[in-house]
Chain A
Amino acid sequence: MSQYFRDTLDILEAEAIYLIREVAAQFERPVMLFSGGKDSILMSYLAHKAFWPGKIPFPLMHIDTGHNFDETLSFRDQWMKQIGATLIVRLVEDSIRLGRVKEEEGPNPSRNALQTVTLLDALSEYKFDCALGGARRDEEKARAKERFFSFRDRFGQWDPKNQRPELWNLYNGMKRPGEHIRAFPISNWTELDVWQYIQRENLEMPMLYFTHQREIVRRGNVILALGAYNTLLEGECSENAWVRFRTIGDMTCTGATESRAECLQDIVNEIAATRVTERGGRADDQRSEAAMEDRKKRGYF
């Protein structure tokens, strides 16, 4: 193999780092969103790499729904120390208290939709003009047309018809006051790429991604973890199963998968052979086929 051979992971890494640096160079007040999941961990790690030996020249921000798995927050704080990043936290809880949003009715309300308001409020509070997000195009059909630099109008809305063509490696980040850009440096990564890279770089990941035993309930074809924010509905019964998570988000709607994957290699093997998409396990996406597209138009990531 020639010394100039570069494999997929090298190419994706270089592309993401290029984009993260473009954001730092083109914007006055960028911020990187951090959810605690693998994509956020990956993206913040790439930012850490991009500016080394300098520090990441912008803060990270976590919009905390309050419905976290215990491990998520401790992992988050530890990780920030490790990469030397500054973290801002905004709570959906506060938006509810201030009457900016209303908690969903019914048992085990999901706060996934509510976090959009908290996010938009935080963006304007800090006058952030660009938010980096860890979304990937392979996650969902509506994401397939997302740009690296996604333009949002003054209301934080995404208009699929009003996106800028992106050619070569030229990203147009110019905007008028009030408008902002969401930038997605890992757009071209697939779930398998993410795990292979994590394995290659030997990153420590939250234990939730690995197999463990937990109390779960099967709701439709989704497996949900039981806990304070997720209790049994009438007529349901719980079971104890070996599971792991493919995504980590709001506990109320993040589905688990049955798995015995103990290490990164096991996860890579499992994903290489899997027959279900990552979001197949997300309760909120299954509500309607165009679910994601609707949420995105309103400003969801």
Chain B
Amino acid sequence: MKNAAAKKEAALVKTRDLLRFTTAGSVDDGKSTLIGRMLHDSKQIFQDQLDQLAAVSKLRGDEKVDLALLTDGLRAEREQGITIDVAYRYFSTTRRKFIIADTPGHEQYTRNMVTGASTADLAILLIDARNGVLTQSKRHGIIASLLGIPHVVVCINKMDLVDYSKERFDEIVQEYKEFALKLNVKDLEFIPVSALMGDNVVSRSSNTPWYEGLPLLQFMESVTISADRNLVDFRFPVQYVIRPHQDFRGFSGSVVSGTIRVGEEVIALPSMQHSRVKGVHFYKKEFQEATEGQSVILTLEDEIDISRGDMIVRRQNIPHVENEFEAILVWMDERHDLSTENRYILQHTTQTTQAFVDEVVYQLDVNSLHRAAATTLSLNEIGRVKVTTARQLFFDPYDRNRWTGGFILIDPDDFRTVASGTIRHSSRSTIDELKKKQRKERLETDAPPREIQWDPGLVALEDRVRKNGHKPLCIWLTGLHGAGKSTIGQQVEKKLFDRGCQVVRLDNENVRRGLNADLDHTRVDREEYVRRVGHLCRLLYDYGNVVICTFASPLKSERARVRSMFTEQTFVEVHVDVSLTEAERRDSKGVYEQARGGKARGLAGVDVPYESPVDPELRLDAERCDAINNAERVIEFISELI
């Protein structure tokens, strides 16, 4: 008979999913008893464990077997009679496997509660029916909310000691619900239980006929957790590159959210290079699709450079790529407090980088949600902070994505984990975000918005030409860093100025100071760089100037974009041509060396290819001719155009 039941069980378990939950309660609320009761009543306790419990209970002089002893591990704790760390337990029913992260509820152990909560689908909070809603009960709710646990079940325990009173239960529910309005909890349930007697734990109790909901275990078996998964935002932090032979280059990792199909267009961060998914591999099989939670290997159609710490995402759905953001930090180190002077190591997805906590915006009282001014955080304290990292992180706000929104801080001296953080948003304000989005859209089209008209003013271009005595023109010098663009540009400017020309010069050094100070070397930002300079150039042209531009502009597409803003004969592309070796030899600032050492990025010829112009208006041999001569050639060439 027993065997038949077991066979049935074995057949059913094949489609069992997994629910991770955490429990929190104050000392003596009955948390250990409740877990013990669940394990016991769902027949998860083995005979030898029970025998051991009975022996220990007897030794202690208890009459009954104390179920609380089941969940109580280390000796130090046993002596103090409390649980102090996170302990994991397992049990399963025919429908689900459960992993319990059992953590103590005292304020002193906020760190453990946070740890247990970080992966939980559900939290059980215990309230002693006699005591009602205490500060601790609120704290547990606040932590569940901060860590984004989607389902919270408040078990109002020891109902046997309040005569299973419906009034008492309702009163507590009412009070907690009011408080919970301030929290971010999707699903909040209340169950009247007696852990000691077993009421409403595994089966419905006849002592609470007024209670219409499910008993605890049934509730946990039936709560829907699939809807909590983020199946929208495809995020694939690369863990490890697998390259067994020349023909296979796979990126292994876990799909932390979203889904991706073979053939879909993806982009690699931070390089911003595009490709398509060629294959989804796992062991000896290939799949059409990879989904949230799977550990797989992706191959791409193009050979693009990707390593651990990079992230593969969908082209149309990119996370934040920033190195400044605001976060809620939980301090977990008992030895040192947070210091805004210290450099920490920050671990996020599969990347580690250095970080500073620049500022504590406020400290959060975990008992009341009250905000107070603070300059530091100590063990178990929680605060909102501003963080700057050395490398950019690819993140989503934690409410949207736990796996790309959470990070830890590590002490660089002894490598202890000192804090955990949940990213709220990037430091740029939402208005900036909007602008950035528009900027990206603008990049795609580059056409002026239809509703905005050009204002001709009262001075026409013809008037300016007449006054200046020459036509406007754009001279665009392109070439490697060190080729001599700036020197030639300066000479041309001086010569034209001396002739009485209306001339201006735009140089990398000068636009980086303000106009383009916010841009870095990612592809998106480089495109934006050229776009801005191009439009500025065009404006200056429209006001009658001869504009000299000296930007490396290594990509054909970048130069073509600027050229498209001008008509023929008004734009002169000048290639300042020099070999990479020579350019590097002339480099006095050590820029190439830095780029090769990975300390500078976006340098043409090193980590960005330099695409020589095929058909420039003018090509200068900067290898053999000096700047003065080359400047003369430019003047000669443009004389007929202005």
Indicate if B194 sits at the interface (CB-CB under 8 A): no
Main secondary structure of the interface of B (DSSP, over half): mixed
A7 and B16 in contact, given A22-B239, A170-B408 (Cβ under 8 angstroms)? yes
- CB pair A164–B417 under 8 Å, yes or no, is yes
- CB pair B293–A172 under 8 Å, yes or no, is no
- CB pair B46–A280 under 8 Å, yes or no, is yes
Indicate if B47 sits at the interface (CB-CB under 8 A): yes
- CB pair B410–A172 under 8 Å, yes or no, is yes
Encoded as 1 (CB less than 8 Å from any B CB) or 0, chain A from 200 to 229 comes to 000000000000000000000000000000
Indicate if B402 sits at the interface (CB-CB under 8 A): yes
- CB pair B239–A25 under 8 Å, yes or no, is yes
From B15, B76, B244, A54 is in contact (CB under 8 Å) with: B244
What bracket does the count of chain A residues touching chain B fall in? Answer: 35 or more
Encoded as 1 (CB less than 8 Å from any A CB) or 0, chain B from 372 to 407 comes to 000000000000000000000000000000110011
Indicate if A81 sits at the interface (CB-CB under 8 A): no
- CB pair A272–B6 under 8 Å, yes or no, is yes
- CB pair B332–A21 under 8 Å, yes or no, is no
- CB pair B410–A174 under 8 Å, yes or no, is yes
Once the chains are docked, how many angstroms separate the CA of A280 from the CA of B46?
9
- CB pair A174–B406 under 8 Å, yes or no, is no
- CB pair A168–B6 under 8 Å, yes or no, is no
- CB pair A18–B254 under 8 Å, yes or no, is yes
- CB pair A144–B17 under 8 Å, yes or no, is no
Once the chains are docked, how many angstroms separate the CA of A17 from the CA of B119?
17
Q: Which residue from chain A places its CB closest to the CB of B76 in the assembled complex? A: A160
**Chain B hits for A2, CB < 8 A:** 226
- CB pair A165–B74 under 8 Å, yes or no, is no
From B76, B229, B252, B283, A21 is in contact (CB under 8 Å) with: B252
Once the chains are docked, how many angstroms separate the CA of A164 from the CA of B99?
20
A14 and B254 in contact, given A8-B97, A167-B115 (Cβ under 8 angstroms)? yes
From B7, B294, B406, A167 is in contact (CB under 8 Å) with: B406
**Chain A hits for B56, CB < 8 A:** 289
Indicate if A270 sits at the interface (CB-CB under 8 A): yes
From B3, B226, B250, B406, A269 is in contact (CB under 8 Å) with: B3
Indicate if B427 sits at the interface (CB-CB under 8 A): no
Encoded as 1 (CB less than 8 Å from any B CB) or 0, chain A from 14 to 44 comes to 1101100110110000000000000000000
**Chain A hits for B308, CB < 8 A:** 25
Once the chains are docked, how many angstroms separate the CA of A12 from the CA of B13?
14
- CB pair A290–B16 under 8 Å, yes or no, is no
A25 and B115 in contact, given A144-B88, A293-B74 (Cβ under 8 angstroms)? no
- CB pair A25–B350 under 8 Å, yes or no, is yes
- CB pair B115–A165 under 8 Å, yes or no, is yes
Indicate if B362 sits at the interface (CB-CB under 8 A): no
**Chain A hits for B49, CB < 8 A:** 277
A-B residue pairs, 5 tightest by C-beta: A273-B6, A174-B415, A280-B48, A167-B118, A54-B244
A-B pairs with beta carbons under 8 Å apart, 20 shown: A6-B294, A7-B15, A7-B16, A8-B13, A11-B17, A50-B252, A54-B244, A144-B89, A145-B87, A165-B86, A172-B410, A176-B414, A193-B97, A272-B9, A273-B2, A274-B46, A275-B46, A276-B48, A277-B49, A289-B52
Interface positions of B (Cβ within 8 A of A): 2-3, 5-7, 9-10, 13-18, 46-49, 52, 56, 72-76, 85-90, 92, 97, 99, 111-112, 114-115, 118-119, 226, 229, 231, 239-240, 242-244, 248, 250, 252-254, 256, 259, 281-284, 291-295, 308, 332, 345, 347-348, 350, 402-403, 406-408, 410, 414-417, 420
